[in-house]
């Protein structure tokens, strides 16, 4: 039984390793983007967006609710856990998009060889 638990822990760490590298890069991309972030009907600058998403990431990790970057996007960076309203991102010269779409596009860019 102990061997099974060790194997499961190793598997969880293997999944978490890419997330632990990718999420900080995504958060940095948010901050550097200069885009605005809509949360619960209010627009916030990129620095505040990053801070908010960082706190949501920290919570998910602490509660073991995310093991992949996609988990983080889906469970922490898509909508408000308070109101249920979708997060939006507005960048200069571009249409407003759901944060999940913007972050997923950024993740694809990070993963390109």
The yes-or-no verdict on residue 2 having pLDDT over 60 is no
Q: What is the pLDDT of residues 66-91, one digit of tens each?
A: 999 999 999 999 999 999 999 999 99
Based on the structure, what is the number of domains in the chain? 1
| Strand ranges, E, within the chain | 36-39, 42-44, 88-90, 97-98
Please give the Cα distance from 104 to 101 (Å, whole number): 5
Minimal CA–CA distance to 85: which of 42, 39, 43?
Answer: 39
Q: How confident is the model at residue 103 (pLDDT cuts 50, 70, 90)?
A: very high
Strands 97-98 and 36-39: unpaired
Task: Give me the helix-helix angle, 69-76 and 46-62, nearest 10°.
Answer: 110
- Domain hosting 26: range is 2-111
């Amino acid at each position: 039984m102990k061997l099974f638990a060790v194997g499961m822990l190793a598997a969880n760490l293997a999944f978490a390793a890419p997330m632990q590298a990718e999420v900080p890069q995504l958060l940095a991309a948010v901050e550097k983007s200069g885009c605005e972030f809509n949360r619960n009907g209010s627009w916030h600058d990129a620095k505040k967006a990053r801070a908010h998403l960082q706190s949501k990431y920290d919570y998910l990790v602490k509660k073991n609710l995310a093991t992949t970057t996609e988990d983080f996007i889906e469970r922490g960076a898509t909508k408000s856990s308070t109101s249920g309203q979708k997060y939006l991102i507005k960048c200069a010269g571009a249409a407003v998009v759901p944060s999940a779409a913007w972050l997923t596009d950024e993740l694809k860019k990070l993963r390109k060889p």
